[in-house]
Amino acid sequence: MTNVIISTSRYIQGKGELEKIYNHVSALGDKVFILVDAFLVETLGGTIRKSFEENGSPCTIEKFNGECSKVEINRLLEVAKDYDVIIGVGGGKTLDTSKAVAFYKKCPVVIVPTAASTDAPCSALSVVYTEDGVFEEYLFLPKNPDMVIVDSQVIANAPVRLFIAGIGDALATYFEARATLNSNGNTIVGAKPTKAGIALAKLCYETIIEDGLKATLAVENHTVTKAVDNVIEANTYLSGVGFESGGLAAAHAIHNGMTAMPETHHMYHGEKVAFGTITQLVLENIGSDELNRVIEFCVSVGLPITLGELGVKELNVKQLQQVAEIACAESDTMGNMPFDVKPDDVVAAMIAADALGRHYHKKCACK
Ligand SMILES: [Zn+2]
């Protein structure tokens, strides 16, 4: 049995860390190429440029074209050919593109997420799309980013809904890792989880349950508190290591199935993963205490607990069957559940999870 844990080599987090970016990255190389989301070039780009200039070191800032596509990756490989460090600053696509460019160039990459909306920043994975934004391939990378720098104030300045979505993504981590462990399943890297991977997934869950609401209220007011820092670490690092080295199971498979529901396309990854998590817990028929804790937590931070809140106006069993078929595909992670799950089971669990959510809302009269 092979047990593997993978992670970024250096994770740095704190308020104002971006102002010190030169100090953090200078050991990695001299010629630094920085890919930045278009709307952040003036603001965060300015902060980064200042840090380099104050240290008498040049840097080149390039605007990201908006899609993590082969065309954009190839364009950047050409523009960045004389540089020896790549830094990606922005949302998921900018970060994935930076990872891909550094992989092909065989140079170090530094990842600077500007929202704590998913656990992707620390991962050894890029998702590549066509120019029109259609999924093309997963680019599995041989190593995680050399460094991840998270400026807590930058995260708190982003819209709170992104932060909440990140909590939704982090909510799934422990339950999926637990299922993988119990099924003796494999993680993304094709190995068994280590004790450390499982422990970090558990800490991720405990952290968001303890600090999720406090942190959400603080971020709503664009302020950084200890709770905010704890949840940023849970959303970004603990969930990142937890999912990659703990394993994925039903929650993400159901999320992937929801691509067959166009009504949910405007929802964020983590918002759909939260509903996928409740559905997984229904499949497992876990105890009422744990189930209620998760549902109440979702309501407290503003994560959706019904299909209606995800944009589905009417339950359509045919459509749910389609979702379930995709979720149970051989290539997805449903096989990491500790028991056999058939599409029919998924349909039933989604209907039951939705009913639970509606029941809960009626009971607490909050919706
Ligand atoms: Zn996720």
Residue in 169, 211, 229, 345 annotated catalytic: 169
Per-residue model confidence (pLDDT) at position 367: 52
Is 222 annotated as catalytic?
A: no
**Annotated active-site residue in 96, 119, 146, 252:** 252
255 assigned to active site: yes
Q: What was the pLDDT predicted at 355?
A: 97
Determine the pLDDT at residue 366.
Answer: 58
269 C-alpha to ligand 1 centroid (Å): 7
User: What is the predicted pLDDT for the residue at 132?
Assistant: 85
Ligand 1 mean position, distance from CA 188 (Å): 12
Give the whole-angstrom CA distance, residue 354 versus residue 185.
28
Catalytic: which of 96, 146, 229, 269? Answer: 269
Task: Give the Å distance between the CA of 92 and the centre of ligand 1.
Answer: 12
CB neighbour list of residue 363: distance below 8 Å, 6 or more residues apart: none
How much distance in Å is there from the Cα of 270 to the middle of ligand 1?
6
Give residue 214 CA to ligand 1 midpoint distance, Å: 22
Work out the angle at residue 328's Cα, subtended by the Cα atoms of residues 325 and 330, and round it to the nearest 5 degrees. Answer: 115
Active site residue 169: yes
Centroid of ligand 1 to alpha carbon of 248 (angstroms): 9
Considering the candidates 96, 119, 151, 255, report the single residue annotated as catalytic. Answer: 255
Reading the chain (367 residues) residue by residue, the pLDDT tens digits are: 899 999 999 999 999 999 999 999 999 999 999 999 999 999 999 999 999 999 999 899 999 999 999 999 999 999 999 999 999 999 999 999 999 999 999 999 999 999 999 999 999 999 999 998 888 888 999 999 999 999 999 999 999 999 999 999 999 999 999 999 999 999 989 999 999 999 999 999 999 999 999 999 999 999 999 999 999 999 999 999 999 999 999 999 999 999 889 999 999 999 999 999 999 999 999 999 999 999 999 999 999 999 999 999 999 999 999 999 999 999 899 999 999 999 999 999 999 999 999 999 988 765 5
Going from the Cα of 333 to the center of ligand 1, the distance in angstroms, rounded, reads 12
* 252 CA → ligand 1 middle, Å: 6
CA-nearest of 56, 95, 39 to 72 is 95
52 alpha carbon to ligand 1 midpoint, in Å? 33
Q: What is the reported pLDDT for 365?
A: 61
* Spacing, Cα 29 to ligand 1 middle (Å): 32
Dist. CA 238 → ligand 1 center (Å): 12
Per this entry, what is the length of the chain? Answer: 367
